[in-house]
Amino acid sequence: MSWSEGYVSDVDYTQNYYRELCPEMTRLALLHRGLGSAPLDRPRYLELGFGQGVSLNVHAAAGGGEYYGTDFSPSHTLRAQAMAEASGASVTLFDSSFAELLDADLPPMDAIVMHGVWSWISSENRAIIVRVLRKLLRPGGVVHLSYNVLPGWSQMLPIQKLLRLHSERAGSMGTSSVQRLQGAVDFLHALDGAGARYFRNNPIAQKRLASMKDKDPRYLAHEFLNEHWMAPTFAEVAEQLAGAKLTYAASAELSEHFDGLHLTPESQAALRSIPDLWLRETTRDFLVGQQFRRDLFVLGSLRLSPSELQERSGALRFVLTTEPSAVTLEVKGALGAAKLQDAVYRPVLDALAEGGVVAHSVRQLHDRVSKAGITAVQVLEALLLLTAKGDALPVQPDEIRDGARSRTTRLNRHLLGTAKHSGDVTHLASPLTGGGVVVSRIEQLFLLARSSERAAPTEWAKYAWGVLSEQGKRLLRDGKRLDDPDDNLREMERQATEFAEKRLPVLRALDVAED
């Protein structure tokens, strides 16, 4: 067996950011379930399989504490190390296997996180991870584990097997995993076009095959071509993690905390009748057709008393991250789009927007809206759903923000430099929130132009269009490609003006854009 142990190693993973791995988001999810945890404001934090290291480095720069990570790919580790050196954050990186990590001299961890890794590695490595968790996680510590799950993946299991078989048996020798994957996808599209009964009988699989054309081929290669790819049930995962004394605490995906978005009243009643946790969560996945879980497991936990919960919840602070007029009162769940209650959300949004983009505590917000008959619980739940939608974020303590500001400035300058060459990184670090904020490539180019003393939006637009045009890129307007250079420049100027008026004030308040 090679050092990659059947894992795709010839193609680097994507440079994505995963906000559910942010300690502040974890703390929020646990608190909403009434649980205390190990300190997550300055955690000892370990990421297993950090990919290109974007999430790990954003959290290390924007938060407090000590951060560690391992990824088996040396090229991943090199890229992550460059980010760590740019920010100057406390980040220790390894290109070790999970087995080698067992022998490393590491301190007890408050948080150990993994994104997707569990689904792509061998059963032997999953067993080793359980040993790592048992060795390194301190009592009260939390584990974030996201993974493909049944039954949502059931219709894709035969497709994964056929994609991998075609890649191995029909892929050209010497070609990359991405090239072999694309050939395999074309093969399956041909089967679909030829009337393959499997796709006719399984329209969800047919739809997901069609959606592959819009996904990053690097992600698809890592998702579908690993030798040990698997999709378990929740109960099977929980049973394995029980070997490290871990118990399920909450979903890291905040919208999953609101059953009304995903379950009919009849389904909710059926779940309430199931006392066993493993059976209840596995049944819930069947009721919603769950494809991917983002779970938080804990090594012991303290359930907060009602007064403790009220005190901690009231002290939570949030900031609006979307321009108020752009916030829609609609949220998507497994049941489709749901309208949010205008009588609750409008007053909360108005209170949250008071004074501009500044932090407000739940207690402060409740004081402002209580005259409208809105309870503190309703305020908190509104903030949670606004956070789930991406319109708000929790705020970390001021002293941590102040200590992180210089690190995020350095990291963001480094990441902005990469925007000249690609749009792979779509987030910058905010010391206010302790995590990442979505900033598109064009917005990053505007910020880059602004940092080089180009004062006016028209100058930002000229710079951004110059970068993109040299790379053969063109803009879209109303879904249509613009081919004329003058049309592209006018559209870029329009976007730059809108960015200056609406988006830039938000990014400055989040300490993402420099003054």
| CATH class of the domain comprising 308-395 | mainly alpha
pLDDT at 399: 95
3-state secondary structure at position 429: strand
- Of the candidates 192, 179, 178, the residue with the CA atom closest to the CA atom of residue 222: 178
CA–CA separation, 343 vs 377, rounded Å? Answer: 15
**234-246 pLDDT tens trace:** 999 999 999 999 9
CA–CA separation, 270 vs 290, rounded Å? Answer: 17
Q: Is residue 221 within 8 Å of 8, Cβ to Cβ?
A: yes
Instruction: Give the percent of the chain with pLDDT over 70.
Output: 97
pLDDT at 478: 86
Which is higher by pLDDT, 74 or 261?
Answer: 261
CA 230 to chain centre: 21
Residue 4 has pLDDT above 50, yes or no: no
Looking at the domain that runs over 19-151+230-303, which CATH code has it been given? 3.40.50.150
Going along 306-403, which residue ranges are E strands? 317-320, 330-333, 336-339, 360-361, 392-395
Please list the residues that pair with 435 across neighbouring strands: 430
CA 208 to chain centre: 21
Please list the residues that pair with 337 across neighbouring strands: 332
34: left (phi over 0), alpha (psi -120 to 50) or beta: left
Other Cβ atoms within 10 Å of 165 Cβ, number: 13
CA–CA separation, 479 vs 336, rounded Å? Answer: 24
pLDDT at 259: 95
**269-327 pLDDT tens trace:** 999 999 999 999 999 999 999 999 999 999 998 899 999 999 999 999 999 999 888 89
Q: Is residue 496 within 8 Å of 446, Cβ to Cβ?
A: yes
Using only C-alpha atoms, the chain has a radius of gyration, in whole angstroms, of 23
**175-194 pLDDT tens trace:** 788 888 888 889 999 999 99
pLDDT at 398: 94
pLDDT at 169: 86
pLDDT at 7: 40
Task: Tell me the pLDDT band of 214, cut-offs 50, 70 and 90.
Answer: confident
Residue 173 has pLDDT above 90, yes or no: no
Residue 213 has pLDDT above 70, yes or no: yes
Q: What is the mean pLDDT of residues 378-396?
A: 96
**62-89 pLDDT tens trace:** 998 999 999 988 888 999 999 999 999 9
Q: Which two tokens stand for residue 306?
A: 């009602």
Domain map of the chain by residue range?
A: 19-151+230-303, 154-224, 308-395, 401-509
